[in-house]
Amino acid sequence: MVFGLRRTRRELGAFARKRYCRAPRPSLRRSTHSGESFATQIDASAADDVLRDDTHTRGRPYHPQTQGKIERYHRSMKNVVKLQHYYFPWELEAAVRDFVSYYNHRRYHESLDNCTPADVYYGRHHRVLSERDKIKKLTMQRRKKEYRAASAA
């Protein structure tokens, strides 16, 4: 299959099911810019999307305010990556790769109940949140006990 050619979603799905039948992963909703420069990347990943029943939404062209999430991500990445001078392309690629790893696996997102995107994607966020609730309950009990001990003295 040549990825430069336009294919219908049905054709890509049939191709993907024949060639790449693998274990199902959680569904995603992908949001990208609507430029033509992304067409081959989108076509290349569409087969994988069909297998997982992912949806792909494109924003309006020349309207960056409708691209809020991706623009915020790019701004966060630029704020970290542009702090250094890179003299070779692989240094910049390594810095971007490190930032993406940090963003997905170590950075807590307030919109995700202060969990990492990896926790939410792999379904670990319920366990993380219940563990936090246990710790909070024990901390409140300890503080109450200490307060009462201090008040009695």
For residue 111, the model assigns a pLDDT of: 87
Q: What is the DSSP string of the chain?
A: --TTS---HHHHHHHHHHH---------EEEE---GGGHHHHHHHHHHHHHHT-EEEE--TT-GGGGHHHHHHHHHHHHHHTTS--SSHHHHHHHHHHHHHHHHHT--BGGGTSB-HHHHHTT-HHHHHHHHHHHHHHHHHHHHHHHHHHHH-
Structure pTM? 0.56
* Average pLDDT of the residues of the chain: 77
For residue 98, the model assigns a pLDDT of: 94
Mean pLDDT of 98-123: 93
For residue 85, the model assigns a pLDDT of: 92
Tens-place pLDDT, residues 3-17: 445 556 666 666 666
